[in-house]
Amino acid sequence: MFIRRLIVLGLLLSSACAHRSSAFRDLDAAIEKELANAIPSIAVAVARNGSIVHQAAFGFADAEASRRATVSTPYPLASVTKPLVATGMMVLAERKRVDLDLPAHQYAGGRVQPTERYTLRQLLNHTAGLPTYATIRWSGEASPSHDAATMFHRYGFAAHPPGTVSEYSNIGYGLVGHIIAEQSGQSLATFLEREVFRPLGMRNTMMLESAAVPPGVARKYDASGKALPETFNDTPGAGNIYASVHDLVRFGMFHLDDRPSRVLSRAAKEAMRSYVEPGALYPYYDSSRYGLGWYFRTTANGTRVVWHEGGMPGASSILVLLPDQKIVAAVLINANDRNDVAQSIANRLIASVEPAMQPLTFVPTDGFVAYDAQPAYLGRWEGALTVDGRALRCTMTFDAGGKVTVAFPDRAADDFLPRHSTFNALVNGDLLLGTIAGTLPGSDIAQKPGGYVLLRLVRRGDQLSGTMIAYASPEGLRHLYPFAVSLRRVHAAR
C-alpha cells in the first residue's frame, strides 16, 4: 500500500510539474510579446514555500550596448526600495537602537524640529503628516542646489496632524534613511549592505547615494523606448535601491519565512505587514492599508495580499507576497509607466503556481468616486495657499453640477497659474484629489509653463486642508513640491 501511494504521488507530482512547465512556457511567450511595445527588458521570478520556482529575463538591459538582461541584472526599484529600507529600521528597533514609538526628532540629528511629535512608527506607516514630495535630479540638467537637509526643512512640513491620514511621503522615507545612518553610525548604503542585503544573500543589490551608477545595471528608458540620462532621487531611503529579480524574490521569501533569523524576528516581519495606525484615514487602494513598509489588504474572497509597487523615470516594478499560500512574485521593467504590464505579469506568475487564484488589482484610486455635488463639499471655501512663506488668497467652489473651481483672486493672469481653473475632483469620504494645469510660483519649480498642480485635501467639518503639489511634467518628472493650503467654508450651497 505504501509503495502504491508513492507511485500515485509521483504521478500527481509529475502531472503538476508538466502543467507548471507548460504554464511557464506560455508566460515566457507572453512576456516576449510585451517587448514589442517599446519595453527594453523584463525580469521575473516566482517562489513558493521558500523555493524559487521560476525566474527569467527577457530583452536588453542596455539596448545600445546589446547587453542582454539576466536574472542577476540589478534594476532600479523606485519605491519598492521602501520595504527594504523599512526592514533596516526594524533591525535597529529590534536591537534597541531606536524605539519606534518615540518622536522621530530624538533620532534625526537636528533635521526635525523638537516641536514635531510624529514617531518613527508613523514615519514608516506614512501617518507622520508629512506631504507628497519628490526631487529627481537628471544628469546634465540644472536642479535646485539645496542639500537634502535644506529640502527637508523647506518641504517637510506638517500637512496633516500626526496619526490622522496615511499620506504617501517620499520625504518621510528620506528621513527614515537619514535616521538609519545617524543611529547606526554608517552610511545608509553600508548599513543595508551589511545588515540586510549580505545576510539575505542579495549579492546584486545596492543602495545608491549619488548619481554615479555602477556598471552592469539595467539602463533606464522612457515609455517610448528612448534611453534616459542618469537620474538620482534626493531622498535615497524612498527610491534609490537597485536589485536583481533573483535578489528581490529572495527578499520576499525572507519576509514570508517563519523560521528564526538573525536579521528580523517573525513578530517584526508580521508587524510590518499588519500594523494600522488607530484612527487614521487610509485613502489609497480602497480597503488597503500601509503597514511599516508594505501595503496590505484582504480580498473579498479572503486572500491576504502584501505588496509594494514602484515607478519613476526608467523604472516600473512590483513585489507581491501571499502569506497564506507562501507565494512571492517579482517583476522588474527598466522603463517608466509600465506598471500595468508589471501587474499583469505578476498575476500570471501567481497563476502559474496557483491556477485558482483570482487576478489581483492594484489601482491607487480604487474607493474614490467623482465629485457629484456631495453635500459635505457643496459651497464656497476661502483661505490661503502658502508658497515659499508667502500666503496667496485661494478659493474653491463646489457647485451643484459636479464641478469644482479653484481661484487665486489676487494673482494676475498668466500662463503659469491661471486665476481660475475648473476641474473634476475625486472624493473618498473626507478625502479629495484633483489636478489642474498650471505652475505654482515657487522658487524651486522647474517648469514654467507646462506643469500641473495636484490637490490632496482632507475635509474636517467646514475646514479643508492639505497640499497643492507642483508637478513638473508627466513626460519627465523633475519634482513634486508640496505647499500647504487651508480653506474654510464660508457659504454652503443648497
pLDDT of residue 445: 86
Confidence of residue 476 (pLDDT cuts 50, 70, 90): low
Q: Are 446 and 479 in contact (CB under 8 A)?
A: yes
Distance CA(210)–CA(197), nearest Å, equals: 19
Q: Are 84 and 90 in contact (CB under 8 A)?
A: no
Confidence of residue 19 (pLDDT cuts 50, 70, 90): very low
**Residue 116 above 80 pLDDT?**
yes
**Residue 12 above 50 pLDDT?**
no
Distance CA(444)–CA(482), nearest Å, equals: 11
Whole-structure pTM over 0.85, yes or no?
Answer: yes
**Residue 465 above 80 pLDDT?**
yes
* DSSP, res 220: P
| 444-462: pLDDT as tens digits | 887 666 789 999 999 999 9
Express as a percent the part of the chain with pLDDT over 70: 93
DSSP string, 30-42: HHHHHTTTT--EE
Same fold yes or no, 76-353 and 369-491: no
Give the CATH number of domain 76-353: 3.40.710.10
Instruction: Considering the domain delimited by 369-491, tell me its CATH architecture.
Output: Beta Barrel (2.40)
Q: How many residues can be counted in the chain?
A: 494
Q: Provide the residue ranges of all domains of the chain, joining segments of one domain with +.
A: 76-353, 369-491
Average pLDDT, the chain: 91
Looking from the CA of 86 toward its CB, the CA atoms found within 13 Å total 31
**Residue 220 above 50 pLDDT?**
yes
Of 473, 492, 491, 489, the residue nearest 134 (C-alpha): 473
